[in-house]
Chain A
Amino acid sequence: MLEINKLSVKYDNIRVLHYISMQIRKGEMVALIGANGAGKTTVLRTISGLLKAESGEILFEGKDITKMSSHNIVASGIIHVPEGRQIFTKMTIEENLKLGAYLQRDRSVIKRNFEKVFSLFPILKQRLHQQAGTLSGGEQQMLAIGRALLGNPKLLLLDEPSMGLSPIMTQQVFSVLESLKKEGITMLLVEQNAYEALEISDRAYILETGNITLEGRSSGLIQDPNVKKAYLGGD
């Protein structure tokens, strides 16, 4: 479904991604794991068109999206839940959700997605007309995910959805991802919470200073001694 070939990305003159290649198949949940500054966010921002690649290509459903502008990439079905949530703090929760459905034309689909989001996150329904900035961090993350679901994603990009959340909130977010996975939504999950990410995902890539150093089935990687040492805090 998504194919990244020899992608490199620069900020100013510093190359932060070095010719990386990745594939995500339809219905798969793929984790991208790496330390701070490894380039995980850069990968996602390049996929969704916020950054331009220096070289290489990104294909989505066979179509080259490398040079497409972000609104066209969203229109093709790639929805990005950005790092730090990036909700519209001065707008209401309802408006945030409506913005998620900005490109959706089919009212019945919008309605169904609203109901789905409300059943996943009842708190959003209760506070529909409040300013989104008044939500707690965890609630804002739920809003960010809910907003993305209203975009009817074929491929969902999630950038550290558990960042800054309490353990309970983190569990809640992961159980939502679990149910989205069951629904068959294809996902690319960036996480520092490596153990959780490997538990939930089908396959994973390990990114180290802009290079993919390891890839494979998550169930295998979770046993890998190097991975254990570097990312799972074990031995």
Chain B
Amino acid sequence: MDGFIYFLIQSVNGLKLGSVYAIVAVGYSMVYGILRLINFAHGDIMTVGVYTILVLMTAFGVPLWVTVLLSVVIAIAVGLATERIAYRPLRTAGEEATLISSLAVSIFMQNLIMMIFSPQRRAFHLPEYLSRLHTIGFIKLSTMNIITFAAVFIILIVLSLVIKKTRIGMAMRACSDNLNASKLMGININAVIVTAFAIGSGLAALSGLMLAGEYKTIDPLMGFVPGLKAFCAAVLGGIGSLSGAVLGGFILGIAEMLFAGLMPTDFTAYRDAFVFVLLILVLLVRPYGILGSKEGGRS
């Protein structure tokens, strides 16, 4: 019985982590769908968001919701700047060029944050009312966890409605289906690309807050590995497919927490490696991911 309860608890922890991966993966997948760009700097946008919150919270004492809003705005600004400076000029140069450019952006941002804030790990405390624990059966959830679940749920619903029902959503789907034909329909593809980057960067900032709130520490490299895992989640679910990204995010989060919780402690250090191995195994069976199609279509 204890074993089962432990399993349940780890599954819930996996859901927490998975919901964070899911919204990062959605942003990743959206940009990839349109530009075929694997944006390594995506995770570092998350770090930018978190450090923005840290500065505003500790230095200025602004209310938390204003802080969060500002961090989203700044993350979007940084995301759009990277698109303008590092990706758009290379758009005709091929996928390899933008891939390398995104690695450069990632390393640049990590180092810039280290220069400004020092490479040191820092404590990150949410206000007391957010970290208060609630016990539901055997499971303990903080207020922040509950808000996170609700927020992720709402974000995913709204996003899928936007993509299915709105004009800009239809334009985004068209661009990821056939970029050149989209231009011939009169779609301003730069506006669509900017929208995808803005959504992705904003979601990255929110997920950064969720991760920092959970782990209670932050450092300048904190976004990189979750960014990579979100990319894995997007690939696992079928890159370019938004529902695939969500599914992949939850699968990875749960699998990672079960691995960390159920393996002997000697092995838990390998949880990151486990995620990548899992990805490889899935791709061996389904090369285009769980919900992906051959052309990397959105579903």
Contact = CB atoms under 8 A, between A and B. Distances in A.
Nearest to B299: A90
Contact of B186 (A87, A89, A102): A102
A86 B185 contact: no
A100 B185 contact: yes
Interface string B169-188: 01101100110111111111
Q: How large is the interface on A (under 10, 10 to 19, 20 to 34, 35 or more residues)?
A: 20 to 34
Nearest to A45: B180
A87 B184 contact: no
A71 B170 contact: no
A198 B178 CA distance: 32
A109 interface: no
B287 interface: no
Given A95-B170, A102-B171, A90 B183 contact: no
Interface string B182-206: 1111111100000000000000000
B175 to A, nearest CB: 10
A151 B297 contact: no
A151 B184 CA distance: 10
A188 B185 CA distance: 18
A100 B297 CA distance: 20
Contacts of A49: 183
A80 B167 CA distance: 21
Nearest to B189: A71
Nearest to A131: B297
B229 interface: no
Given A89-B177, A91-B173, A91-B174, A99 B185 contact: yes
Interface string A79-116: 11010001111110001001110110000000000000
A74 interface: yes
A99 B174 CA distance: 8
A98 B170 contact: yes
Contacts of A71: 183, 186-189
A70 interface: yes
B128 interface: no
Interface in B39-73: none
Contacts of B295: 89-90
A90 B297 contact: yes
Contacts of B180: 50, 82, 86
B298 interface: yes
Contacts of B173: 88, 90-91, 95
Contact of B184 (A74, A89, A90, A95): A74
A82 B179 CA distance: 13
A69 B187 CA distance: 10
B174 A82 contact: no
A100 B170 CA distance: 12
A67 to B, nearest CB: 15
B174 to A, nearest CB: 5
A89 to B, nearest CB: 7
Nearest to B175: A88
B170 A80 contact: no
B177 A151 contact: no
Contacts of B183: 48-50, 70-71, 74
Contacts of B184: 48, 50, 70, 74, 79-80, 82, 86
Interface in A40-73: 48-50, 69-71
Nearest to B177: A88
Name the residue in B177, B189, B293, B295 with the highest tally of chain A Cβ atoms < 10 Å from its Cβ: B177
Name the residue in A74, A80, A102 with the highest tally of chain B Cβ atoms < 10 Å from its Cβ: A102
A75 B185 CA distance: 9
A175 to B, nearest CB: 24
25 contacts: A49-B183, A69-B188, A71-B183, A71-B188, A74-B184, A80-B184, A86-B180, A86-B184, A87-B181, A88-B174, A88-B177, A90-B173, A90-B293, A90-B298, A91-B173, A95-B170, A95-B174, A99-B170, A99-B187, A100-B185, A102-B167, A102-B185, A102-B186, A103-B185, A151-B185
Interface of A: 48-50, 69-71, 74-75, 79-80, 82, 86-91, 95, 98-100, 102-103, 147, 151
7 closest pairs, A vs B, by CB?
A74-B186, A103-B186, A86-B181, A70-B183, A88-B177, A90-B297, A71-B188
Given A87-B181, A98-B170, A99-B187, 8 more contacts: A71-B187, A71-B188, A74-B185, A88-B173, A90-B293, A90-B297, A99-B171, A99-B182
